């Protein structure tokens, strides 16, 4: 295994890393992908990232690095997409363990580099929030990216920072990122998506889903997350750019502040100081709120009527697409019902499935099904 890719934010970045590896190197020896087990509350009801003690069946690669094979399992109530990724993709997935702060991740990187002697090391972020200063009002989840950036800039190795799908995470406007983007490394095509197309049918990542959709030619405006943030799907969506690693560290105040941290609690404290919040606090608060919400029944006729109302309002906002994560939230369903909702909608209205996104139907198509504006 001659290549190492660090998925900066975990989750969808790991899927994008697999897509990039296949696009650039084809069927050559597969890269090792170092990634967080941090799937947010749609998959994992426990706030924050998971560590080795949250799994059974991990395999130890170095003293500080564990890989996640297909037969590994998260220990309830924790959840994780990594075992299924390992089952469906040919790459080796190694677990970033952030609970010892940036110093712990730096140690993991040093051990991996010593063990693998990789020919190349890439740090990959989908969307570009790794380039955030920390005070941007649209920034929502800077912690994971800042941690990996802080660790990568401290190892004695050449690491290439790549940003795929600039602006697709809905965190930083593309205009804010454009001046930081360096040379174009690759533009994803529909063919590049094929190796991960089956994964995108079930994986909850919105940014990587939009990355794949733009590679397939989808254009428009997509609403994402629980807040319904609008994200532009443009010709820049499927691009991958190199970014100067030192420039990124200079810009990212949180990354600079946490370089010597030894615990995740320290990292959170610095995030509250620099950014004004910790995203894990947000997850804690939301998880507590979700516990008190009664589960909603997924009644097809009711859901489809609610969908028509949502689509009518979305059209008035100029929205052309949305993600199934956002639809799940917008229709007041819980994360465990996302896949059932997806199956219902695709079977009921297959012409609106713009894989892996949902295309907002026009009013004429709604009327032809017997629904009016509600």
For the stretch 139-150, pLDDT in tens is 999 999 999 999
Instruction: Give me the residues paired with residue 126 across strands.
Output: 164
Q: Which pLDDT score, from 0 to 100, does residue 230 have?
A: 94
List the strands of the sheet with 229-233, edge to edge: 229-233, 220-224, 321-322, 357-359, 353-354
CA 130 to chain centre: 12
Q: Quick check: 172 and 127 in contact, CB under 8 A?
A: yes
Q: What is the pTM of this model?
A: 0.95
In this predicted structure, the answer to whether residue 365 has a pLDDT above a threshold of 70 is no
> Cα(231)–Cα(366) distance, rounded to whole angstroms?
24
Domain boundaries, the chain: 3-257, 300-368
The C-alpha angle with vertex 18 and arms to 12 and 21, in degrees rounded to 5, equals: 140
Q: Which pLDDT score, from 0 to 100, does residue 292 have?
A: 82
Q: Confidence band (pLDDT; 50, 70, 90) for 171?
A: very high
pLDDT above 90 covers a percentage of the chain that reads 87
Instruction: Give me the residues paired with residue 337 across strands.
Output: none
Task: Write out pLDDT tens, residues 84-140.
Answer: 999 999 999 999 999 999 999 999 999 999 999 999 999 999 999 999 999 999 999
Strands 239-243 and 184-187: antiparallel
In this predicted structure, the answer to whether residue 373 has a pLDDT above a threshold of 70 is no
Instruction: Give me the residues paired with residue 239 across strands.
Output: 187
Q: Confidence band (pLDDT; 50, 70, 90) for 1?
A: low
Strands 65-67 and 59-62: antiparallel
Which residues, 6+ apart, have CB-to-CB distance to 53 below 8 Å?
75
Task: Write out pLDDT tens, residues 174-226.
Answer: 888 999 999 999 999 999 999 999 999 999 999 999 999 999 999 999 999 88
Q: Confidence band (pLDDT; 50, 70, 90) for 27?
A: confident
Q: Quick check: 131 and 213 in contact, CB under 8 A?
A: no
Cis peptide before 127 (omega within 30 of 0): no
CA 322 to chain centre: 15
List the strands of the sheet with 32-35, edge to edge: 59-62, 65-67, 92-95, 32-35, 3-7, 120-126, 160-164, 239-243, 184-187
Alpha helices in 197-262 (DSSP H): 197-200, 206-215, 245-251, 253-257
Tokens of 150: 């802080």
What DSSP string describes 83-134?
HHHHHHSSSEEEE--GGGHHHHHHHHHHHHHHHH--SEEEEEEESSGGG--S
The average confidence (pLDDT) of the chain is: 94
> Cα(225)–Cα(296) distance, rounded to whole angstroms?
19
In this predicted structure, the answer to whether residue 62 has a pLDDT above a threshold of 60 is yes
Task: Write out pLDDT tens, residues 248-265.
Answer: 999 999 999 999 999 999
Q: Which pLDDT score, from 0 to 100, does residue 160 have?
A: 98
Give helix 264-275 / helix 279-291 axis angle, nearest 10°: 100
């Amino acid at each position: 295994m001659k290549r190492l890719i660090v998925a900066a934010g975990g989750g969808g970045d790991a899927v994008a890393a697999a897509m990039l590896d296949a696009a650039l190197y084809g069927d050559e020896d597969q890269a090792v992908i170092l990634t967080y087990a941090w799937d947010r509350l749609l998959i994992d009801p426990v706030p924050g990232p998971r560590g080795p003690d949250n799994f059974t069946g991990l395999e130890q690669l170095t003293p500080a690095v564990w890989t996640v094979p297909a037969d590994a399992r998260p220990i309830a109530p924790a959840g994780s997409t990594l075992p299924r990724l390992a089952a469906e993709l040919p790459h080796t997935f190694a677990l970033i363990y952030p609970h010892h702060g940036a110093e712990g991740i730096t140690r993991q990187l040093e051990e991996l580099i010593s063990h693998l002697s990789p020919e190349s090391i890439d740090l990959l972020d989908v969307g570009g929030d790794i380039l955030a200063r920390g005070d941007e009002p649209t920034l929502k989840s800077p912690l994971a990216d800042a941690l990996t950036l802080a660790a990568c800039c401290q190892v004695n190795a050449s690491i290439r920072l790549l940003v795929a799908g600039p602006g697709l995470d809905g965190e930083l406007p593309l205009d804010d990122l454009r001046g930081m983007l360096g040379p174009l490394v690759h533009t994803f095509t529909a063919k590049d998506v094929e190796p991960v197309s089956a994964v995108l049918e079930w994986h909850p990542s919105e940014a990587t889903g939009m990355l794949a959709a733009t590679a397939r030619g989808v254009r428009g405006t997509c609403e994402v997350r629980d807040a319904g943030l609008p994200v532009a799907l443009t010709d820049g969506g499927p691009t991958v750019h190199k970014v100067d690693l030192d420039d990124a560290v200079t810009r990212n105040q949180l990354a600079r502040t946490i370089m010597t941290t030894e615990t995740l609690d320290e990292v959170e404290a610095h995030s509250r100081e620099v950014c004004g919040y910790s995203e894990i606090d947000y997850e804690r608060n939301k998880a507590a709120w979700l516990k008190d919400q009664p589960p909603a029944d997924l009644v097809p006729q009711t859901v489809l009527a609610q969908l028509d109302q949502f689509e009518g309002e979305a059209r008035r906002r100029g929205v052309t697409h949305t993600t199934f994560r956002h639809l799940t939230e917008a229709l007041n369903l819980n994360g465990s019902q996302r896949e059932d909702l997806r199956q219902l909608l695709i079977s009921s209205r297959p012409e609106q499935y713009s894989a892996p996104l949902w295309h907002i139907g026009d009013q004429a198509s709604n009327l032809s099904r017997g629904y009016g504006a509600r």
